[in-house]
Structure formats: structure tokens, C-alpha cells
Structure 1
Amino acid sequence: MDILFLAHRAPFPPDRGDRIRSYNILKHLSGRARVHLVAFVDDDAAVTDEDRALLGECVVIPRTKSQVRAAAEALATGRPVSLTAFADRRVTAAVNAIVQRHPIDAVYAFSGQMAQYLPADVPLTIMDFVDLDSAKFDAYADDAIGPMRWMMKREARLLGAFERSVARRVTAPLFVSAAEAALLPGSRALENGIDTVRYDPQRSTPVHSAHPLIVFTGQMDYRPNVDAVTWFARSVLPLIPRAHFAIVGRAPTAGVRALAGQDVTVTGEVADVRGWLAAADVVVAPLQLARGVQNKVLEAMAMARPVVASGPAAEGIDHAGTIRIAGDARDYANAITALLNDPAGAAALGHAAREQVIRRYGWTARLTPLDDLLGLHAERQVV
């Protein structure tokens, strides 16, 4: 079987939320079929020989279009910016060439931006929206003012219409959680997993901290993460005496870097996030806007850390009561302080979280539904 895999960001290296998901899906499929990849790449992409060995053809195209140009194209054509930002004739040409060269039996499109490249004559099409982006922009509009509010509302409306039209014509529209899938009729969930061998506290060396350490991990130019750490540093941390807050993740914005001080560390990109997780007395995920399954929460649970998360950050995860949920600043401060004052209880909570992740979120179990969707049952040998 030949599968064409389309991705808005090449899955290499698998070191951030979307790339972790797309990489593990691609790896799963490549063990059962011949997979051809067409993907955009960012500046930090690194495609190794080992990665290419998973694939038949591998076409990666740098994404060079500016947001200003994408917005201008969107306004001129009546399309969502999310689509014009990823509209590229080079991708269209690459897709057409692969379809002509290979007997493509199925297409797996990762992220809604790539739906515009779905070939018309392939019998099986899987559209992995991951999250419902139109709902995200609708939420952004609630906090915006003036022209930006109008732009966010426009994006939500146009993108929502596009998502619904795509869902009606593909074989299976997928989302990262049941809650996300419920937002688009006819969709189903394909949940994220976690590599519990890699994310094992026994395999990691903790960084040193002289004070009780609270850790947040994530891509630090992503707006929900920026808003979360800014709120936490300003509203929650002052309520927790002697604690230190570490913001761990690449590309921190100027606003995030400005949070650094005596009680806050902003690391920027680190070689291995596991050392920070292993050192954490508590991991927090205070996101107010969170779609689907949060990898940062799964990673902390797998590392047997006690987690305090917002309702939205925990919503897509079957945590079975093994993490603490908090709302306002006082809720967070009380939950974190209670864990810091009870190391044995915190350790027990972290252990229970890891056991839950092992039971529920191994990648093999999470991706098995793809075998039925695509008729893939026998492992093939990758050479």
C-alpha cells in the first residue's frame, strides 16, 4: 500500500506538540505501508538519514511566505489566512508528481491547512485536523479589540466553513480528543500518546534547584503558552513563598523573557526537557485556551510529577484524578503549596499519574484505530 502523508510542518525532529504527534503517526504507518511525505519545513527542521529511511519519497519545502503577504492574499481572495499562509504552488506540484509516479491508495493530511492539497481521485482520505482551529480563532476574538477582533472573527467564520466542507468529503475526519471531535459532526478521536520509556524518571538526571521548583514546558512563542506563564508569574507565584518558577521551552517572546528574575528562570531552548521535569516539585499547565490533548501534561505525568492544571488543559486527558485541577490564582497557590508541604503525597500522586499514562496512553494502543481505517494489519520491513 502507498500512502501520501501531507504535513504543515515536517515531523522532524519530534520535539514539540504537533511534530510529536505527526512523527509517531508517520512512523506507525511506515511500519505497515510505503509512505511518501510532502511537508513544509521551518528553520529548526532537521531531517536525518534515519528519518528518510522511514519514507519512500521525501519532499520538504521551506515555508517563506510572510504573515503580511498571507493576510493580503486572504483579504483579496476571501479565504482564511490559515489557508493562504500555507498556499504554495511548489507543494501542489510535489503532490501531483507523487500521485503520478506512485499508485497512491490513501492520503493522510495532518493539520487543516493541508486539506487544500488533497488529491481528488484517491479512494481513502484521512483528515487529521488535530484541533478545531476555527474554535481557537473564535476564542482569540473574545480577547481582541478593534480591527484584530474583526480579523479573528472573520478567520473563525471562514475557516469553520472550510473545515465543515472538508469533513463532509473525506473518508474520516480525526481530532486529538473526543471533546474536539464532538465540535464537528461525523468526526472521531485519535488521541495522542506518549513514549513512556523515553519519559521515565529513572532515565533522567534532574537539574539542580536550590528552592522548591515549579516547571512549565512548551513552545514559548505560542500565544496560549505565553498568556499562561505571564498570568502565573504575576498572579500565582507571589502567593507561594520561596518557590522558583522555570519556564522551559524554545523561542520565548520578549514578554516572556521579561519575566525572568530572582524567582523566575526563562531557559529558552534546552537540549532535553526531561531534566527539568525530573527536578520539578510541581509541574503546572495554567492554560486558559487549550485544544485537545496537551502533550506537556502527558509528559509530566509520564515523568511521575505532580501536576496542577487548568480545566481546559486537563479536559482532553483521561487522568483518572491523578492530577490536580485549579481555577483562579488562589486555587493554584493552595494546590501547589499543599503539594510542596506534603512530599510523600506529591510523590504518590506523581506515581499514580505515571501508572495511568502507561495504562492509557502508549502510542501503539492509541494508533491502532488507523489500522482499521486504512486496512493495515501486517508490519512491513523498512529497508
Structure 2
Amino acid sequence: MKRRDILRAGLAGGGLAAGAVAAGGLAAPALAQAAPDVRWRLHSAFPRTLDALYGTAELFARQVFEASDGRFQIEVAPAPGGESAALLDAVAAGTVEMAYSPAYYEVGRDPTFALATAAPFGLNARQQNAWMLHGGALDLFNEFFARSRLYALPGGNTGTQMGGWFRREVKTVADLQGLRFRIAGLGAQVLAKLGVVPRALPGSELYAALEGKTLDAAEWIGPYDDDKLGLNKVAPFYYYPGFWEGGAMIHFWFGAQKWSELPKAYKAIAQSAAASVNGDLQAKYDARNPEALRRLVAGGAQLRPFPQEVMEAAFKAANEVYGDLSAKNPDFKRAYDSLRSFRNDEYLWFQVAEYTYDNFMIRARARG
């Protein structure tokens, strides 16, 4: 039996065993009551033009629709007015039933939110997923989110991001002094310790800000999206890696009350669809980034690794930020202690097989 058929059977049975349905245990009116029509709205923090991200929410909605035989419909739209900052407030208040957004947009509300997306020098994409799904993080965060009347499910990962576009080269830590840099999440706090002036701007405003020289640098995600935004035309130096987002996870957000009211079968459908698209988003980026990077380089982008001096200084600053936040915020400390312990175990494993294999294959490719 296909997964969709299993979900349909569960939906039709309203949680009863499939055998009871097959035996004629439910009359048609009971079936209708067990599968009510539900109409929800989902607001995305990303515009339609960023099709990998926006399309993930659309794919989720389509899978929910198909698995429920059209009874559970979710209308996807960009955040009203392109404003993503108030999305979770709207979800918590029940103004809209769902959102698709990274948790670190809420870092100003509480820095604990940011760890659910990515932490500077934290986990890579596979490790973030493992921590969330099998390391206890999802339960930990949903307990925390519940205080804000929210419930979340993982909805995809971008993989390790690029370090962004710079109008001038960064050769030493001194070159960061006074640098007006669009950066989100905890990365902004870390780089501020090195003299950077963080700016919070949506992706749609980055080109104009770089062109008008109100920004000196900007990071978004990686080659596929950066190519769409045209950032290489206004800032030639393309740095890597984005050490503040080793594996940035996006979440589907539900109002806690709305989620609790969903029929059990619909919850299962939503969980199944979220799990499906959670893997799909990174697969999209992994498939599309290589060709996009070639286009950007052919168009004049100058690839640069961050100097070791900058990486080391940022690593030190990150640990200082984590120490300060942990001392003041018990929720942050609990989540960060869990992340740090999980990260150390993961890299104990990754250095054995993953790193050795990848390192050999990268060198083999270089040899042709």
C-alpha cells in the first residue's frame, strides 16, 4: 500500500483500524464527520521569486491537499506587505493559521529561537536535522515555543550558506571595522563583537542597498538564490563559508490552539508532508547551486574564503556570546548545552568517515 493510500485509510477511519472500516463499521455520515473540511492560510516569509523556499511551502500544501482528498486545504501566500517580522505573532494570535519562516527571525524576542534555525559554528545541515529529530531538540523547542502559543515542524534546510557579497576585500579582522553588513540571527551579535555594524533587511532590498552603498556587504543563502537576486552585479567579492549558518533550518509554524484542534489524521498528514519537504529543500539547493555558482563566477564573481584569522576571531567571539546569553537566559542555556553536546559527538563521527571520504573525493576531482 502506498503512503498516500495509508493516510487516506487513516483519514477515512478517523483513527480507527482499517479493518473496522473494511468491515463496514462506519456509515457514510460518520465518515464525513471523521474527515471535516478544513481551510487554512499559510504566510511565507519568502517571496514567490525565491522559488526554492516559497515552493517548499506550496509543495507542503499540495501534499496535504492530495493526502486528505482535498478536505484539508492550505492557501499559501507571501507575508502581507512582504513583512516577515510579525508572522509568528499573527500565527499565535490565530490571525493566520500557519507560517513558513526561520526561527531566527525571532532572535529579538528571545535568542533561544535562533538556535532552532542555526548557530554560528553550530551544526551542519545533516547534524541539525539529526539533533532536531533524534537528539531531543524538537521536543525541547516545542516546549519552549508553546509559551508563545506556537508549535513547529521542521520544513527544510538550506545547507551551509555562503558568507555573502562584499564591495571590498576582507583580508584581516581589521577590515571588518565599521562594515555595514546585512546579517540575521546570532551571527549579527557575533560579528558585532568584531566591529561589524549589522543591518536587518529582507532579501528584496539587498540589491538596492548594495548599489546605493548604504550596505557594504550582504549575505542571503547561496548561489541559486544569490543569482536570482543579482547581488554579484553590485558587490564582486563572494566569501565563504557562512559560518553563522552551517545548516539553516526553516520551520512550519502552527498556532498551538489550531494545531491541538486538528483531527488526529490531519496532524499525521501534516507531519508526513513536512517530513517529505524537509528533505526536498536541501536536495533542491544541492542540485541547483553548482550551476548557479558557475554562472556567478562566469559573470565576474570573485570567490574568496574567509581568512583563517577572521574565522578564529569569530569562533572566539561566538563562544563569548554563548557564554553571556547562557548566563542570562536559562532557556538559551538549556538549548545551547544540548546543541554543543550533540555537535561534539557528531564531529567525533563525521571526522572518521564523512570527512575522510569527502576530502579524498574533492582532491580526486581536482586531479581530474
TM-score range, shorter chain: under 0.3
Q: Which has the larger radius of gyration?
A: 2
Q: Select the structure that is richer in helix.
A: 2
Higher-RCO chain (CA-CA 8 Å, sequence separation at least 6): 2
Please give the TM-score of this superposition, normalised by the length of structure 2.
Answer: 0.25
Q: State the TM-score, normalizing by the size of structure 1.
A: 0.24
